[in-house]
């Protein structure tokens, strides 16, 4: 037992297995915010098993608590000071290869967090606890030259077992052999102790064990095997001229390999997926592997089918997997048994060993940004991974992020590929703006759907088409207030107003999930005339059902789609025409391909437009373009109606013309003028505490450190750097924490990092205060 009072040099005496000082040393990082590696000695018994990329247990921190860490370096040069020894090696094989170690090291540097934190986030829990695997005992006859002399005598049962094992010609599972002999394991144990049979233990996938069992019963292929997939080969599509031109640029580079980033800008329905599929087929043909990132929301069976129908063994990593399934996939990918990994954000870390290409569909999607430490953006990590692995990467979108668009217009940036038209010359849908300021109103009533859109829906249905209605706000009433005193129903833990959910009969905070009973009497002034205003999808559904009777209306948002599989059931029913009107949040905006949808209605285009976020216009444009892209995908064509109070706002008027290029020009102009990304780098530091005064005081302390650091780097002639803050965050109280933030902008990423590093390394938040670092932030609230 080591104690903290013991001088470090005496520690060797405490460990029975380290009487002799260690001669091998490892550097270990822990799941902690600091970026520092600790050196430990390796007891002789662990020399063979320890290795880079494996986890170890070692005494760490106050009281030498046994703590799990990752080995990042092995060396035989003793450190200057005596060190403690590791206690245990946890993994049989390295969890990460050199290439993923480099990538995670880069992430720790770039996102200003601990390497150990990154490693902990990257390796799935199911891999860490070896979920889904099991130790299996195998037996085999002792090799002739090593048999005991003289040969011991055996019982008849032992002889029977030994003969059976010899006949097998390869190692057998101990229990399988015992079962075959119709009894327990005693005869086999006897053989082992007599030295006639040897046993060894192997860690195996549970599914592998099952498959073996299956195989014995009935030889055949299990589902998911390449032979099973081959039966479903879709008929190949003949590419059009635009696709062919794109493909002719890509193919030679896929053939040569090497880092080469592409931005594929293709309007909705232009056939981007066909290009992805060919790129994947090409690298699989070369014996390599592909990683495909798609937004979580697009991981539908329809998407998966498109990939698995054509490209070998496909593993899909979605959020509904159990830890053990995730662990199994990880190990299968690492073993080279999977050619294509399709998944959301975290699939960028899939441990492929022969990566050939990375593809990111809908690269502009904000869900690629992780909003917890490490706060990485999967697209940016993917570009770095492609660089380290020296392979091409294809980013695709109908509405590229302005960061990627800007990169595609720089001399040393991405190669731009374009698919400017829909396939088979299908037109983009006609978009009509409905100005809500001029729609006829019904006195005393607030309707979500004006007469123009209502008529549009009726006409579309009459002609046999289907309708999608988009509203990016769930719940029934989004604004509950008292007209006499102005009291607004607010979350107890956040500066956010509560939304009334009628089905649940509760007021709910959409950020932290806080719920409270709805009130009929104002909690502040006791008046009984509480107003339930503001429109969510729940109320919209009620209004549609009243206005358009005898049609089947289905709502799709996170409230109605919480059960696994419900999403797919609704989409299947919609495809079969059993649902006439599908209404929902952004869940229905992305990637869906329903040829019979002839009208898409946007109930309120202004919802996200006025947020205090420099990306508000970009997001609104993207969302309108995505939603519009759901219309007119079949031969019947289709149209879009957008209700808005601000029809002249450029992001709305340009979206109606599907004019991304003009929008990007305008918006980039604003960004340049206000020093926002992509022209300047941005980092954000949030200081938070449950006590407002503590947060405020520490923010002031940090402000001093920031000013000093900024003064040191801003020299005449150096690139500019600007510090904003400390200021209260736009949502000051969130989840029970009071929050202050700093923003730093600089045209030079190195400088920005230098300042952040200097401030963070010296920052010692008092008890009860913590900070969050966000490099390239997406959430500005």
Distance of closest approach, residue 101 Cβ to Zn ion, in angstroms? 39
Q: How many C-beta atoms lie closer than 10 Å to residue 110's C-beta?
A: 19
Select 270 or 339, whichever has its Cβ closest to ligand ADP: 270
Contacting ligand ADP within 593-612 (CB under 6 A): 593
For residue 420, count CB atoms less than 10 angstroms from its CB and return exposed for 0-12, middle for 13-18, buried for 19 or more. exposed
Per DSSP (E only), the strands in 543-649 are 553-556, 581-584, 597-602, 639-644
Q: What are residue 532's DSSP bridge partners?
A: 480
| Segment 660 to 689, residues that bind Zn ion, using CB under 5 A | none
- Number of chain positions touching ligand ADP (CB under 6 A): 16
The span from the CA of 360 to the CA of 125, in Å, is 25
Closest CA to 368 of 303, 276, 472, 298: 298
Q: Does 243 bind ligand ADP (CB under 6 A)?
A: yes
Site for ligand ADP in 419-458 (CB under 6 A): 423-424
- 266 contact choice in Zn ion, ligand ADP, none (CB below 5 to 8 Å, kind-dependent): ligand ADP
Are 62 and 114 in contact by the 8 Å Cβ rule? The answer is no
Q: Which does 597 bind (CB under 5 to 8 A by kind): ligand ADP, Zn ion, none?
A: none
Q: Is 295 in the site for ligand ADP (CB under 6 A)?
A: no
* CA 41 – CA 278 distance, rounded (Å): 50
Judged by beta carbon, residue 300 or residue 484, the one nearer ligand ADP is 300
User: Of Zn ion, ligand ADP, none, which one does residue 343 interact with (CB within 5 to 8 Å by kind)?
Assistant: none
* Residue 418 or 743 having the CB closest to ligand ADP: 418
State which residue, 343 or 475, has the beta carbon closest to ligand ADP: 343
The smaller minimum CB distance to ligand ADP, of residues 385 and 590, is found at 590
Q: Which is nearer to ligand ADP, 136 or 394 (CB)?
A: 394
- The reply to whether 509 sits near Zn ion by the rule CB under 5 A is yes
CB 742 within 8 A of CB 724: yes
Q: How far is the CB of 732 from Zn ion (least distance, A)?
A: 12
The answer to the question of residue 776 lying near ligand ADP (CB under 6 A) is no
Site string for Zn ion, 528-557 (x = CB under 5 A): ------------------------------
List, in sequence order, every beta strand (DSSP E) within 335-402.
340-343, 355-361, 392-397
| Residue in 211, 245, 539 with CA at minimum distance from that of residue 419 | 245
Strand pairing class (314-317; 88-89): unpaired
Which residue among 314, 334, 491, 530 contacts Zn ion (CB under 5 A)? 491
User: Residue 56 or 489: which CB sits closer to Zn ion?
Assistant: 489
Q: Which does 239 bind (CB under 5 to 8 A by kind): Zn ion, ligand ADP, none?
A: ligand ADP
What phi and psi values does residue 509 have, to the nearest 5 degrees? -90, 125
Residue 732 interacting with Zn ion (CB under 5 A): no
Of the listed pieces 35-43, 233-241, 485-493, 679-687, which binds ligand ADP according to CB under 6 A?
Answer: 233-241
Instruction: Please tell me whether residue 632 binds ligand ADP under the rule CB under 6 A.
Output: no
Whole-angstrom distance, CA of residue 626 vs CA of residue 724: 34
In this complex, which beta carbon is closest to Zn ion, that of residue 477 or of residue 604? 477
For ligand ADP, the closer CB: 291 or 434: 291
Query: Could you say which of 494, 588, 752, 780 contacts Zn ion (CB under 5 A)?
Result: 494
Q: Does 475 bind ligand ADP (CB under 6 A)?
A: no
227 binds, among Zn ion, ligand ADP, none (CB under 5 to 8 A by kind): none
Residue closest to 112 by CA, chosen among 753, 769, 776: 753
Tokens of 735: 């989840």
406-425 residues in contact with ligand ADP (CB under 6 A) are 423-424
Dist CA 182 CA 188 (whole Å): 12
C-beta of residue 563 within 8 angstroms of C-beta of residue 507: no
Burial-class residue 423 by CB neighbours within 10 Å (0-12, 13-18, 19+).
middle
Per CB under 6 A, which of residues 576..595 are in contact with ligand ADP? 593
Q: Which range binds Zn ion by CB under 5 A, 277-285, 504-512, 540-548, 570-578?
A: 504-512
And the tokens for 567? 């999403």
Give helix 660-673 / helix 616-628 axis angle, nearest 10°.
170
Question: CB 361 → ligand ADP: shortest distance, Å?
Answer: 7
- Among 39, 140, 189, 240, the residue binding ligand ADP under the rule CB under 6 A is 240
Task: Please choose which of ligand ADP, Zn ion, none residue 511 contacts, taking the beta carbon within 5 to 8 angstroms, the exact cut-off set by kind.
Answer: Zn ion
Sequence-separated (6 or more) residues with CB below 8 Å from residue 617: 609, 649, 650, 651, 667, 670
Binding status of residue 493 toward Zn ion by CB under 5 A: yes
Least separation in angstroms between residue 580's CB and ligand ADP is 23
Among 2, 74, 239, 253, the residue binding ligand ADP under the rule CB under 6 A is 239
Residues of this chain, 256-285, that bind ligand ADP according to CB under 6 A: 266, 268-274
How many residues are given for the chain?
Answer: 781
Binder of residue 493, out of ligand ADP, Zn ion, none (CB less than 5 to 8 A by kind): Zn ion
Q: Which of residues 110, 276, 500, 514 is near Zn ion by CB under 5 A?
A: 514
Give the Cα separation of 94 and 324 in Å (integer).
18
Query: Helix and strand tally (H, E) in the chain?
Result: 23, 30
Where is 85: in which H helix or E strand?
Answer: none
Is there binding between residue 508 and Zn ion (CB under 5 A)? no
Of 373-402, binders to ligand ADP (CB under 6 A) are none
Which of the 8 DSSP states describes residue 79? Answer: P
Residue 741's closest CA among 600, 601, 612? 612
Percent helix, strand and coil across the chain, each rounded to 5? 35, 25, 40
Say how many CA atoms lie within 13 Å of 390 toward its Cβ: 4
**From Zn ion, ligand ADP, none, interface partner of 536 (C-beta below 5 to 8 A by class):** none
How many Cα neighbours within 13 Å face the side chain of 680?
23
Residue 722 tokens read as 């600007």
Q: Which is nearer to Zn ion, 512 or 705 (CB)?
A: 512
- Of 331 and 590, nearer to ligand ADP (C-beta) is 590
- CA dihedral angle for residue 101, residue 103, residue 108, residue 111, rounded to 10 degrees: -160
Q: Which stretch binds ligand ADP (CB under 6 A): 30-38, 221-229, 235-243, 745-753?
A: 235-243
Q: Among candidates 280, 272, 261, which has minimal Cα distance to 239?
A: 272
Q: Encoding tokens for residue 447?
A: 């309707």
Shortest distance, CB of residue 307 to ligand ADP, whole angstroms?
12
- Binding to Zn ion by residue 264, rule CB under 5 A? no
* Residue among 467 and 491 whose Cβ is closer to Zn ion: 491
Q: Which residues bind ligand ADP (CB under 6 A)?
A: 237-240, 243, 266, 268-274, 423-424, 593
Q: Which residues bind Zn ion (CB under 5 A)?
A: 491, 493-494, 509, 511-512, 514
């Amino acid at each position: 037992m080591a104690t903290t009072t013991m001088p470090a040099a005496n520690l060797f005496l405490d460990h029975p297995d380290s009487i002799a000082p260690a001669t091998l040393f490892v550097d270990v990082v822990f799941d902690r915010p600091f970026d520092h590696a600790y050196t430990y000695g390796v007891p002789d018994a662990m020399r063979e098993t320890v290795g880079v990329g494996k986890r170890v247990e070692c005494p760490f921190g106050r009281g030498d608590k046994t703590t799990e860490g990752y080995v990042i370096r092995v060396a035989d040069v003793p450190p200057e000071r005596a060190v403690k020894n590791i206690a245990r090696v946890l993994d049989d094989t390295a969890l990460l290869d050199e290439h993923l170690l480099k990538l995670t090291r880069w992430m720790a540097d770039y996102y200003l967090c601990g390497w150990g934190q990154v490693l902990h986030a990257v390796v799935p829990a199911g891999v860490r606890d070896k979920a889904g695997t099991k130790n299996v005992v195998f037996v085999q006859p002792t090799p002739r030259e090593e048999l005991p002399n003289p040969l011991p005598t055996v019982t008849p049962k032992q002889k029977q077992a030994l003969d059976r094992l010899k006949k097998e010609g390869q190692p057998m599972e101990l229990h399988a052999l015992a079962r075959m002999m119709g009894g327990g394991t005693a005869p086999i144990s006897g053989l082992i102790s007599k030295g006639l049979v040897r046993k060894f233990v192997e860690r195996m996938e549970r599914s592998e064990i099952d498959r073996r069992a299956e195989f014995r019963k009935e030889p055949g292929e299990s589902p998911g095997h390449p032979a099973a997939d081959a039966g479903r080969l879709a008929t190949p599509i003949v590419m059009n001229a635009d696709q062919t031109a794109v493909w002719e640029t890509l193919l030679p580079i896929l053939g040569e390999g090497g880092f080469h980033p592409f931005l594929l800008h293709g309007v909705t329905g232009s056939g981007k997926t066909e290009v992805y599929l060919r790129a994947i087929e090409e690298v699989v043909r070369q014996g390599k592997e592909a990683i495909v990132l798609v937004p979580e929301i697009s991981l539908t069976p329809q998407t998966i089918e498109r990939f698995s129908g054509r490209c070998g063994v496909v593993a899909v990593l979605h959020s509904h997997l159990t830890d053990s399934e995730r662990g199994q996939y990880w190990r299968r990918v690492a073993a080279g048994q999977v050619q294509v990994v399709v998944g959301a954000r975290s699939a960028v870390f899939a441990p492929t060993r022969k990566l050939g290409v990375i593809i990111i569909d809908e690269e502009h999607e904000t869900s690629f940004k992780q909003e917890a430490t490490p706060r990485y953006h999967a697209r940016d990590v993917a570009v770095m991974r492609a660089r380290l692995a020296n392979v091409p990467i294809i980013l695709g979108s109908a509405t590229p992020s302005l960061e990627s668009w800007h990169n595609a217009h720089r001399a040393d940036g991405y190669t731009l590929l374009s698919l400017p038209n829909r396939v088979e010359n299908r037109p983009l849908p006609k978009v009509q703006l409905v100005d809500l300021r001029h729609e006829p109103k019904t006195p005393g009533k607030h309707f979500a759907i004006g007469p123009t859109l209502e008529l549009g829906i009726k006409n579309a249905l009459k002609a046999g088409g289907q309708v999608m209605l988009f509203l990016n706000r769930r719940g029934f009433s989004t604004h509950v207030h008292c007209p006499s005193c102005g009291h607004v129903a607010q979350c107890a833990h956040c500066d956010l107003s509560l939304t009334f959910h009628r089905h649940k009969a509760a007021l709910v905070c959409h950020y932290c999930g806080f719920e409270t009973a709805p009130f009929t009497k104002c909690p502040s002034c006791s008046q009984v005339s509480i107003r339930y205003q503001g429109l969510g999808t729940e109320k919209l559904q009620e209004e549609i059902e009243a206005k358009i009777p005898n049609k089947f209306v289905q709502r799709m948002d996170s409230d109605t789609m919480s059960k696994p599989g419900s999403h797919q059931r609704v989409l299947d029913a919609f495809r079969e025409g059993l649902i006439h009107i599908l209404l929902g949040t952004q869940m229905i905006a992305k990637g869906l391909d329903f040829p019979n949808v002839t009208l898409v209605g946007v109930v309120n285009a202004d919802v996200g437009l006025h947020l205090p976020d420099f990306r508000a216009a970009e997001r609104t444009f993207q969302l309108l373009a995505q939603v519009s892209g759901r219309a007119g995908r079949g031969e019947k064509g289709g149209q879009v109606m957008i209700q808005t109070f601000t029809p002249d706002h450029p992001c709305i008027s340009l979206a109606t013309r599907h004019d991304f290029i003009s929008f990007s020009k305008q918006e980039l102009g604003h960004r340049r003028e206000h020093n926002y990304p992509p022209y300047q780098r941005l980092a954000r530091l949030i200081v938070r505490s449950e006590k407002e005064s503590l947060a405020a005081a520490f923010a002031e302390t940090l402000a001093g450190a920031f000013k000093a650091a900024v003064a040191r780097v801003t020299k005449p002639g150096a690139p500019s750097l600007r510090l904003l803050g400390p200021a209260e965050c736009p949502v000051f109280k969130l989840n029970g924490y009071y929050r202050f933030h700093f923003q730093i902008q600089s045209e030079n990423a190195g400088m920005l990092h230098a300042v952040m590093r200097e401030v963070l390394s010296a920052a010692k938040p008092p008890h009860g205060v913590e900070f969050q670092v966000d490099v390239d932030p997406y959430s500005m609230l």
